[in-house]
Structure 1
Amino acid sequence: MNSRSGALPPPVASLAPGRTGAWRFTVAPLDVSVPRIRHVVRDLVRRQRAPLSGDRLQGALLILSELVTNAVRHAALLTSEIGVEVVLDAHGLRLSVEDGHPYRPRALEANPERQHTSGRGLLLVKAIALETGGDCGVEPTAAGGKVVWAALPFDAG
């Protein structure tokens, strides 16, 4: 998961057995989907009692909002549904957003080109993920679209 070392560092805090899992949602590529999925994911993470501080949870929700907003704005013509996956495991929280557009955002590359003015939201995603000791990236799908993801470790116990 982590492009710097190949894996996230060992967790300081962990999630109780039975509270781990993966949840997948689909939303329409509409602006109204952004706050709706943010609230669903916030409630899910709280219900699972993930060891995330309020600040870290807000950072995760900001990341989610940015990723879903990008899918709505840039992939709606090629995407009938946006996939959102939430994974809670012993390492932390991973948020993934899948759309049907083939473009891979450059802002998540190791050294994004500075002359581009777009992608600032993704630079924020990257900064939040890296600041917490997590990571982010983009992967192609078999259908020609992409999955943009961010992983955040749990807070120290």
Structure 2
Amino acid sequence: MDGQSRFPRQRTSSGDAYRSGPVQAPVAGTGTTLPGAPAPGCAVHRRLHLTLDPADLVGVGAVRRRLRSALSHWGVPELSDTAELLSSELVTNALLHTGKGAVFDAELGSDHRLRIEVQDGTSRLPGRRRDPEGEYATSGRGLLLVEALADSWGVQLRGDGKVTWFELAMP
């Protein structure tokens, strides 16, 4: 199953509603945009919005593929490796530790700064492994990677859960 059929919802040009299916392209040769389609060069062209069902760990791979494709399309493929790794960590954490789904948003600002947000439905803050044997564990290093590789990151509590985010600047 490809990523588009798996995650068909995209933001509309208003930014606050969703519709199914791909965003319509401008009509060739007319210079006009179809209703509901963002204008070329608009910030909506640099935004990726995906939803994942609870425990959908297979969806993490689709997030990585869609993110890599988007970053290439936006002209910043050099951010792909780090963005994919850190996004995988945050999405996987949201799916494994909350028992709920996740909402993934990526946006490339006009300053070429990439912001990734992963929203989940619990207000429990993420934490580092505290046990002394954690050094030898096969998991539990995701936030250490985010801390080491992101230019900035954090957690924001919201009424319906939290958003864990990170930002990457162009090298």
Asked whether the two chains share a fold, i.e. TM above 0.5, the reply is: yes
Count of aligned pairs: 124
Unmatched runs of 5 consecutive residues or more in structure 1: 1-16
Whether contact under 8 Å (1:59, 1:128) holds in the other structure is yes
Paired residues of 2:67 and 2:80 also in contact (CA < 8 A): no
Aligned to 1:68: 91
Q: Distance in 1 between matches of 2:133 and 2:48?
A: 34
Q: CA deviation at 1:45?
A: 0.9
Sequence identity of aligned pairs in percent?
A: 35
Alpha carbon RMSD of aligned pairs, Å? 2.3
Runs of 4+ that moved beyond 4 A: 112-116
The match for 1:149 is 165
In structure 2, what is the equivalent of residue 24 of structure 1? 49
Consecutive unaligned residues in structure 2, runs of 5 or more: 1-39
Offset from partner CA, 1:23-42 (integer Å, 9 cap, x none):
32111231101101111111
Distance 2:158 2:152 in 1: 19
Whether the 8 Å contact between 2:60 and 2:88 is mirrored in structure 1 is yes
- Kindly indicate whether structure 1 or structure 2 has the higher relative contact order, using CA contacts under 8 Å at least 6 residues apart: 1
1:101 corresponds to which letter in structure 2?
T
Q: Is the 8 A contact 2:48 2:70 kept in 1?
A: no
Match of 2:64 in 1: 38
1:27 touches 1:37 (CA, 8 Å); kept in 2?
A: no
1:74 Cα deviation after fit: 0.6
Paired AA for residue 25 in structure 1: L
With the length of structure 2 as denominator, give the TM-score of the two structures: 0.64
1:140 aligned residue (157, 165, 170) = 157
Is 2:108 the partner of 1:88?
A: yes
TM-superposed deviation, 1:122: 0.8
8 Å Cα contact 1:106-1:119 kept in structure 2: no
